[in-house]
Amino acid sequence: DAGVIQSPRHEVTEMGQEVTLRCKPISGHNSLFWYRQTMMRGLELLIYFNNNVPIDDSGMPEDRFSAKMPNASFSTLKIQPSEPRDSAVYFCASSKGLAGLAYEQYFGPGTRLTVT
Amino acid sequence: QKEVEQDPGPLSVPEGAIVSLNCTYSNSAFQYFMWYRQYSRKGPELLMYTYSSGNKEDGRFTAQVDKSSKYISLFIRDSQPSDSATYLCAMTGNQFYFGTGTSLTVIP
């Protein structure tokens, strides 16, 4: 298995631009998580999906952030418009089961986003 | 108060030392307690998990959970330079929470 695949691995963009991050979960996993990691705040859960349905998006910081999961093998996290404070590493993770039972999450390599 | 508190360190120890990493939490509904390891510029990976209270051992690693004190620990025996990483505790009940991570360096 290839593991969780994220693209792009690095993204540098200017403030105000739209950014789209992509994730392909592990085949057979039915939960998908988007996280943001910074030195100051650590790893923050933004949103998670179960069976392609958003279950909890309370971690999404603002309306500028949106996430979709059109099918079991693909998800996107979009930031529009982007701001310098969005600079962080964004991780996608997948697992079997609901979040409360998903003790084993498999993380992708992350997307390092820099907004100038 | 944060759901999960973890000392960020950094922690620096000589090779062969015993390392103790700890987290406290506030939500008594947490049932699964995990430790993830994250190498530099990589995603976290699950190291160990424990269900409810008690100890679990896996090679040089031992995880302990004390639900009465809302306190979990990870012990690393005979630490190696390859153990140098950030260790994140995590726990789940109805939702999933990570600690902020403790950075560990094992000096040869």
- Residue A28 CA to residue A50 CA, distance in Å, equals 12
Indicate which of B39, B49, B96, B98 best probes the interface with A, i.e. most A CBs within 10 Å of its own CB. B96
Q: Given an 8 Å threshold on Cβ–Cβ distance, is A103 in contact with B100?
A: no
Q: Which residues contact B27 (CB under 8 A, 6 or more apart)?
A: B3, B91, B93, B97
C-alpha distance from B42 to closest chain A C-alpha (Å): 5
Whole-number pLDDT of residue B21: 97
Q: Given an 8 Å threshold on Cβ–Cβ distance, is A93 in contact with B94?
A: no
CB-CB neighbours of B84 under 10 Å: 17
How far, CA to CA in Å, does B36 sit from each of A64, B12, B86? 30, 18, 8
- Residue A31 CA to residue A50 CA, distance in Å, equals 4
Compare CB distances from B101 to A35, A42, A91 and report the shortest one's residue: A42
Compare CB distances from A107 to B43, B99, B100 and report the shortest one's residue: B43
C-alpha distance from B45 to closest chain A C-alpha (Å): 7
pLDDT in tens, B30-77: 889 999 999 999 999 999 999 888 899 999 999 999 999 999 999 999
Q: What single-letter amino acid sits at B48?
A: M
Whole-number pLDDT of residue A104: 85
Four-point Cα dihedral A91, A92, A96, A98, nearest 10: 80
**Given CB atoms, is A67 within the 8 Å cutoff of chain B?**
no
Dihedral pair phi/psi, residue A17, rounded to 5°: -80, 160
Which residues of chain A carry a pLDDT beneath 50?
Answer: none
Q: Given an 8 Å threshold on Cβ–Cβ distance, is B34 in contact with A103?
A: yes
Q: Model confidence at B94, in pLDDT bands (50, 70, 90)?
A: confident
Whole-number pLDDT of residue A101: 63
The percent of residues above 90 in pLDDT, for chain B, comes to: 76
